[in-house]
A and B are shown apart, each in its own frame.
Chain A
Amino acid sequence: MINRDALYRNIQELEFACIDLNLYLDTHPDCEKAIYDYNNISMELNKLKKLYEINFGPFSNFGTSQSKCPWQWIEDPWPWERN
């Protein structure tokens, strides 16, 4: 049984790490170590996101992932209601 909250929190943390590395790389495009870290975290992040999405619904729309019927994208909760 997957712990939804723990998985969600894990995804938030990994994605934040990517955001921060992303900004760093924007001004340090030649830093190989940062690119290596970014790619590794990104792989782990996407793996966890797929796992979350299969069980609990999509994180994003406009074609980024598939949906069951009825259309999952509009399902509650929305981020301001729970996080």
Chain B
Amino acid sequence: MWIYEKKLEYPVNIKKKDLRMAKYIVTQYGGPDGELGAALRYLNQRYTMPTSKAKGLLTDIGTEELAHVEMICTMVYQLVNDASVEELERAGLGSLYTQHNHGLYPTDAFGVPFTAAFGSVGDPIADLTEDLAAEQKARATYEHLIRLTDDPDLIDPLRFLRQREVVHYQRFGEALNDVQFNMDRKKYY
């Protein structure tokens, strides 16, 4: 089960409103390479993993990704919260305001709502390989976001999140090696 801790994993303190960046950053909430998808992917895959290292790692990284969802939502919330209707419309967020007011909603940068339709295959090797790719895609997306802004209040948490993707990639590689080694071993009696 999950216990919630009333604390961000890493600080987010945005002083300047920036609706343009909010539109981009939201992709790491509800987009294809975002934190919500990552959390659900890993927490979903853990049930059918053959080794305890993989079960532990997927549970823990999945949980950390939920903490990252919270960071992304905090960034979007702080970037948007006191914008007027006119400001939202001018930034191209009129449709979002219509349907969601100032509320958080998981979409990608184009406004396409979150989907988990392309899920894990349930094969441990395929799943862990998918996870390696997912971490790289997220890392690249964070690099794109960092390049799109000059605001140090934004760059700081984005760089943290990017660095976490690199570490997760490393850990998944180790889990994949372990699973492959284990599955090979079972063939010898």
Contact = CB atoms under 8 A, between A and B. Distances in A.
A23 B175 CA distance: 11
Given A26-B60, A80-B74, A83-B8, A62 B3 contact: yes
A83 B178 contact: no
A83 B74 CA distance: 10
A80 B4 CA distance: 14
Given A80-B70, A80-B77, A60 B6 contact: yes
Interface string B152-189: 00000000000000011001001100100000000000
A41 interface: no
B176 to A, nearest CB: 10
B10 A27 contact: no
Range class of the B interface residue count: 20 to 34
B7 A79 contact: yes
Contact of B175 (A27, A58, A73, A83): A27
A79 B157 CA distance: 14
B168 to A, nearest CB: 8
Interface residues of A, number: 26
Contacts of A27: 53, 57, 171, 174-175, 178
A32 interface: no
Contact of A9 (B11, B77, B178): B11
Given A27-B53, A80-B70, A83-B11, A22 B60 contact: yes
Contacts of A9: 11
A60 B4 CA distance: 6
B173 to A, nearest CB: 9
Contacts of B9: 12, 15-16, 19
Interface in A44-75: 58-62, 64, 73
Interface in B33-54: 53
Contacts of B11: 9, 12, 83
B18 interface: no
Interface string B8-39: 11111100000000000000000000000000
A83 B13 CA distance: 7
Contact of B53 (A11, A20, A29): A29
Interface of A: 8-9, 11-12, 15-16, 19-20, 22-24, 26-29, 58-62, 64, 73, 78-80, 83
11 contacts: A12-B8, A12-B11, A16-B9, A16-B10, A19-B9, A23-B57, A26-B53, A60-B3, A60-B4, A60-B6, A83-B74
